[in-house]
Amino acid sequence: MNTPTDIQIIKQDGKPAFVVIPYHEYLKMLPEDEITVPHEVVELVIRRNMNLVKAWRTYLGLTQAEVAKRAGISQAALSQMERRENSLRTATLEKLAKAMGLHAEQLRD
């Protein structure tokens, strides 16, 4: 199988012991009542005064153009959303969350 994968298997004593998966894949596996926000995202919000949309995008290493394309909006619109206080409509938050592989709840203050 030559399919590229982001999964890494770590062996201990020659046997699989741990599996490392991308964070967005991990989030998909969490029950709805265990939605989390990484410390790094919280730091971006507090120390760099970013709203959650921009903090998550930065944390995930995505460009505005990538997220905007995935969400079906313009890059300029996303830029404005990232500058405003987080007063986005639920439907908008859901589109942005899906575009970044998150739960909409992770983008709410």
Would you say residue 10 lies in a domain?
no
Would you say residue 76 lies in a domain?
yes
**pLDDT recorded at residue 2:** 56
Would you say residue 59 lies in a domain?
yes
CATH number for the domain harbouring residue 68: 1.10.260.40
pLDDT tens by residue, the chain, 109 residues? 455 578 899 999 999 999 999 888 887 887 767 788 999 999 999 999 999 999 999 999 999 999 999 999 999 999 999 986 758 999 999 999 999 999 999 998 7
Q: Provide the domain count of the chain.
A: 1
Cα–Cα distance measured from residue 11 to residue 39, given in angstroms and rounded to the nearest whole number: 28
Structural domain that includes position 69: 34-107
